Amino acid sequence: MTDAPSDSSFNPRLIGGVVAVGVAAFIALWALIALGPQLSGGKDGGGHALSKGAPGYAAMIDLLERAGAQVEVRRRVEPYRYQDYTQLAVLTPTHETRPGAMQEILAAQAGAPILIVLPKWQVLQTPGERKKPGWSGPGFRAAAPTRLLPADWFGETEVESEAAKSARGRAILAGRAIDIPLPDEVQTLSGPHLEALIVAPGGGAVLARTKNRDIYILADPDLIDNLAFASRDTARAGAMLLDAISEDADADGFAFDVTLNGFGSQRSLLRFAFVPPFIGITLCLIAAGLLALWQAAMRFGPALRPARAIPVSKAALIANSADLIKQAGRELDSADAYVLNQRAAIARRLHAPAGLDASAIDAWIDRRLTGHNGGFSALARRLPLARSAPEFLADAQALHDIRKDLLRDG
């Protein structure tokens, strides 16, 4: 003999765990899609503020913070100039940066001071070698494309490379002299709308400022990037240069932009769902969904077994017959049959004399009654003449009471 099948074909705890893991994974997936760029650590060895590779600027940011400067890594394109606080926006575009992206971020500054650091190095990955996180691969010099400086903002510009071995650059910014060592191969910039602040031996501008806007352009990034920390003198000179540019622009702090490097967090409804103040609504919706799942999974008491369509009992048979008569609207047509049934039952149980007709049996029953107005015979004649359900029910109940009193049953 085989065992009886279980009431449950699966393990509720196992299914609940699978559902919980699925819901958590779904929420985590959408959260990472929305916040992925913002949560990225930037360990790609590129030339941006989050990078600790050679062309990055993480070392300079750390040095500025240790010196007490207000430094922010900006992940959104929006103006950051306030009435009593101004930041110097440091833009670090790459060779692949679109001109439209530069136009957007320049327009978003709304007149706030800007320092644009042009790219100089392109990094490659060695074929067959796995790149280490945060490390830069082999690099080569590549002149910054002039499309990074839109013509309607800077006019026609030209980027060149000059030999400057053991040369030093000198600038007067904010009333103080800045002396900074130049790389052996320095990248320079020239243009009719630019004012040179630091000049290379060949005459090109290493640091320039636009004549009609408060925008600075550093042509060679090796003055402030992580490569500058190869020597104490270069690192110190780079920090002093940034401080002098900030003071000359009347800025109170630095904001290193990383949106041009692919680490921005753009505005989107999906992102808003996971950041304040809308994160509270998202958590409430998640809690409501979990409560709905819990309520749907819970059941009170044992599992309900399917009932028979027609119960097996005399009471069920009588109830079904009564429902059928009611639905057919034939309640009053059963009066004669009901009277006959009650008369026969009383005569049989009380052993009425044989050979009596219906009238004689009714009279015989009346002689045995006490306390019933009208007697059995009167009700037996009146019941078939009923014209409404309440009238029929009252007389039928009276006949039933007579039977109960005579036969002592229910």
* Full-model pTM: 0.58
Contacts of 176 by beta carbon, 8 Å cutoff, 6+ apart: 244
Q: How many CB atoms lie within 10 A of CB 408?
A: 8
- Asked which of 109-118, 171-180, 288-297, 376-385 is least confident by mean pLDDT, the reply is 288-297
Q: How would residue 1 be classed by pLDDT, with cut points 50, 70 and 90?
A: very low
% pLDDT > 70, the chain: 81
Question: 205 or 373: which carries more pLDDT confidence?
Answer: 205
Omega into 277 within 30° of 0, i.e. cis? yes
**CA 357 to the chain's CA centroid:** 88
Kindly tell me the burial class for residue 149, based on how many C-beta atoms sit within 10 Å of its own C-beta (0-12, 13-18, 19 or more). buried
Residue 299's pLDDT band (cuts 50, 70, 90): low
Confidence of residue 354 (pLDDT cuts 50, 70, 90): confident
The pLDDT value recorded for residue 217 is 93
Q: How much is the average pLDDT of 325-336?
A: 77
- Averaged pLDDT of the chain: 80
Q: Nearest 10 degrees: CA dihedral of 342, 348, 352, 358?
A: 40
pLDDT in tens, 75-102: 777 665 566 788 899 999 988 888 888 8
Q: What is the pLDDT of residue 82?
A: 61
What is the model's pLDDT at position 216? 94
pLDDT score of 118 more than 90: yes
Domains and CATH numbers, the chain: 31-267 (3.40.50), 314-407 (no CATH)
